[in-house]
Amino acid sequence: MNLRQLTRHDFAIGAAVLLLLWAAATPMLSARSFRSLSEQAAADVETLRTAALSTLSTTGRWPARAEAGIAPPALAGAYPGDEPLTFPEYTLQWVGLEVIEYEEAPPVTFRAPDPDEEDDEARGLVVAPGDAPPDSAAPGLRPVVREIGAILLHTGNEDLLADLLTRYGPMVSYVRDSTWTLVVDDRENSGP
């Protein structure tokens, strides 16, 4: 075929075919790009989670809280660079949280006041007027503060936030505004 014999019509058909091929390939390339982003974000979260759990098992304490994009000193070796938790599409952050749990309290002994004894409270006795416990007596539970950790992922990509919620479904995680939070509890050692 001689190129001199091609007409404008032939060029228009060729351009239309190229545009159709590009339109068909774009969603596949976009989906592949998103899968790659999602896999990388999950890998970075897992690296941070594993390093934090390792620090807890080694030192008995969670890593210190850090600003977004900055690794806590205890986790500095997990990621290289000055701002190791800042990535092109998202930023990671480590925080410590305090939760209140209730555990069985030792039984409290109530008795009527004894005018001859002055140190009943020091011996663990609660002195109540009369022979009945006060109305505000707890049902045998006491609050205990316990520390847990959390990984925050900051991004404007709503699809990534939704994907992380699905991926970490069995673990405690939630999205608020443009931040996904994964609660890291030392009693939950299973991953996604």
pLDDT tens sequence across 147-181: 899 999 999 999 999 999 898 888 888 888 999 99
For residue 82, what pLDDT is reported? 58
Report how far residue 164's alpha carbon sits from residue 50's, in angstroms, rounded to the nearest whole number. Answer: 17
Is it the case that residue 88 has pLDDT exceeding 60?
Answer: yes
Nearest-angstrom CA–CA distance, 82 and 16: 48
- Reply yes or no on whether the pLDDT at 76 is more than 90: no
d(CA 171, CA 36): 22
Residue 26 has pLDDT above 70, yes or no: no
Amino acid 16: pLDDT:
72
Contact 89, 38 (CB under 8 A): no
Boundaries of every domain in the chain: 34-101+142-184, 106-139
Q: What is the pLDDT of residues 95-143, one digit of tens each?
A: 998 888 888 877 655 555 555 666 555 455 555 555 555 555 556 788 8
Other C-beta atoms lying within 10 Å of the C-beta of residue 54: 14
Bigger pLDDT: 144 or 78? 144
- Residue 58's identity, in one-letter code, is T
pLDDT at 132: 53
* pTM for the whole structure: 0.65
Is pLDDT larger for residue 6 or for residue 145?
A: 145
Residue 19 is encoded by which pair of tokens? Answer: 């545009």
Helix (H) or strand (E) segment spanning residue 92: strand 91-104
pLDDT at 93: 94
Structure tokens, 28:
């596949």
Instruction: Output 79 or 29, whichever has higher pLDDT.
Output: 79
Q: What percent of the chain has pLDDT over 90?
A: 15
Q: Tell me if residue 134 falls in helix, strand or coil.
A: coil
Q: Kindly indicate the confidence band of residue 91, based on its pLDDT and cuts at 50, 70 and 90.
A: very high
**Crossing angle of helices 8-59 and 158-167, rounded to 10°:** 50
Q: What is the mean pLDDT of the chain?
A: 76
* Distance (Å, whole) CA 183 – CA 95: 10
Q: What is the DSSP letter of 68?
A: T
pLDDT above 60 for 192: no
Residue 175's H or E segment, with its range, is strand 173-176
